[in-house]
């Protein structure tokens, strides 16, 4: 016999209580024959699930086709307002994905695997900026979590980017992202606060109602890269989706997750289509090649 009760917590999650009844057999030996008395004792199992109202509440959602195994899979993540993170997969296309299948798959990720302990020297963001639409909180990317489950690789990537952004904050440049500090969960970094921009260079070239000055864009992007190199750092992942534009069409380089001092080994690097050869170490050459490819792409798009 199984009885399930569902209790909804309106703040952040749903608790599911499953009561399983297990028999306890008692032997009683009197002058009469042995009698069997069967009792049942409930055991409650509690599972904490994220509270989602719709699929659009997901933080990340991706559809992947596995060529060798010949099947399609959806990967998804959710980070709630308390910075609790969840990851799940479902063997269906986005079209067939349901809220029920998402809820059945999502599992909590341990904080220590994705959130690093904040070291001295990394500032904490003002709480007021967390509520403003002028700022954006960058969280760890979780769609590849299953590849590093049980490790702290994602936490190390977030810490690395935080250190890079702190260096940029101390040595600013108008073409490099403006960083405003860490979002904390206890003593761990749960996100990085950046100024918000609404359009990437990739999207901006298709907005034909307003001409884009490609020479000015390339001059400012190149200046930002040169400034980064002067600090002994290479970006290692320049592409049109990592360049944002403000309302004045001034470019700002973002995404410093692959940025490292020259010569250091990289955990992640480059984006397909914006490299000429694979590389696994940080180098100014990686950025110089990407700048040339972006220039050639802009010439083709805006000719």
pLDDT by residue (tens digit) across 54-92? 999 999 999 999 888 898 999 999 999 999 999 999 999
Q: Which of 36, 106, 115, 38 has its CA nearest to residue 75?
A: 106
Which CATH number among 3.40.50.970, 1.10.3720.10, 3.50.50.60, 1.10.510.10 corresponds to the domain 198-299? 1.10.510.10
22 or 268: which carries more pLDDT confidence? 268
Q: Domain ranges for the chain, please list them.
A: 46-108, 117-196, 198-299
Return the number of other C-beta atoms located less than 10 Å from residue 233's C-beta: 23
Please report which helix (H) or strand (E) contains residue 86, including its range: strand 85-90
Q: One fold for both 117-196 and 198-299?
A: no
CA gap 94, 271 in Å, rounded: 24
Cα distances from 32 to residues 25, 37, 39, 199, 224, in angstroms, run: 18, 14, 21, 86, 94
Mean pLDDT, range 140-148, rounded to an integer: 95
Dihedral in degrees, nearest 10, Cα atoms 203, 206, 211, 217: 40
In the prediction, which pLDDT does 18 show? 40
Mean pLDDT, range 247-272, rounded to an integer: 93
3-state percent breakdown (helix, strand, coil) of the chain, nearest 5:
30, 35, 40
Is residue 242's pLDDT more than 90? Answer: yes
CA gap 151, 268 in Å, rounded: 16
For residue 244, report the phi and psi dihedrals to the nearest 5 degrees.
-100, 160
> Residue 25 — very low, low, confident or very high, per pLDDT cuts 50/70/90?
very low
> Residue 216 — very low, low, confident or very high, per pLDDT cuts 50/70/90?
very high
Is residue 42's pLDDT more than 90? Answer: no
> Residue 5 — very low, low, confident or very high, per pLDDT cuts 50/70/90?
very low
Predicted structure pTM score:
0.79
Residues in the chain: 303
Which CATH number among 3.30.420, 3.90.120, 3.30.200, 1.10.3470 corresponds to the domain 117-196? 3.30.200
Is residue 23's pLDDT more than 80? Answer: no
In the prediction, which pLDDT does 49 show? 64
% of the chain surpassing 90 pLDDT: 74
Dihedral in degrees, nearest 10, Cα atoms 186, 191, 194, 200: -170
In the prediction, which pLDDT does 268 show? 80
């Amino acid at each position: 016999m199984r009885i399930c009760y569902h209790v909804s917590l309106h703040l952040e999650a749903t608790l599911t209580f499953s009561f399983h009844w297990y028999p306890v057999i008692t032997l009683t030996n009197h002058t009469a024959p042995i009698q069997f008395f069967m009792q049942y004792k409930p055991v409650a199992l509690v599972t904490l699930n994220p509270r989602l109202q719709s699929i659009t509440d997901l933080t990340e959602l991706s559809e992947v086709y596995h060529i060798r195994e010949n099947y399609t899979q959806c990967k998804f993540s959710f980070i709630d307002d308390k910075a609790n993170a969840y990851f799940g997969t479902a063997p269906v296309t986005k079209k067939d994905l349901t809220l029920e299948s998402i809820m059945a798959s999502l599992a909590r990720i341990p904080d220590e695997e994705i959130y690093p302990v904040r070291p001295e020297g990394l500032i904490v963001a003002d709480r007021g900026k967390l509520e403003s639409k002028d700022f954006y909180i960058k969280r760890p990317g979780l769609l590849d979590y299953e590849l590093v489950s049980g490790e702290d690789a994602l936490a190390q990537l977030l810490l690395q980017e935080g250190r890079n952004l702190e260096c940029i904050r101390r040595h600013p440049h108008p073409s490099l992202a403006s960083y405003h500090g860490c979002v904390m969960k206890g003593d761990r970094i749960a996100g990085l606060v950046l100024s918000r921009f609404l359009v990437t260079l990739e999207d901006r070239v298709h907005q034909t109602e307003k001409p884009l000055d490609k020479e000015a864009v390339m001059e400012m992007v190149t200046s930002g890269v040169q400034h980064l190199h002067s600090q002994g750092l290479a970006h290692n992942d320049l592409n049109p989706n990592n360049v944002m534009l403000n309302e004045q069409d001034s470019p700002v380089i973002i995404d410093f997750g692959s940025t490292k001092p020259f010569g250091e080994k990289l955990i992640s690097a480059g984006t397909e289509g914006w490299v000429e050869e694979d590389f696994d170490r940080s180098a100014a050459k990686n950025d110089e090649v990407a700048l040339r490819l972006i220039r050639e792409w802009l010439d083709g798009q805006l000719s």
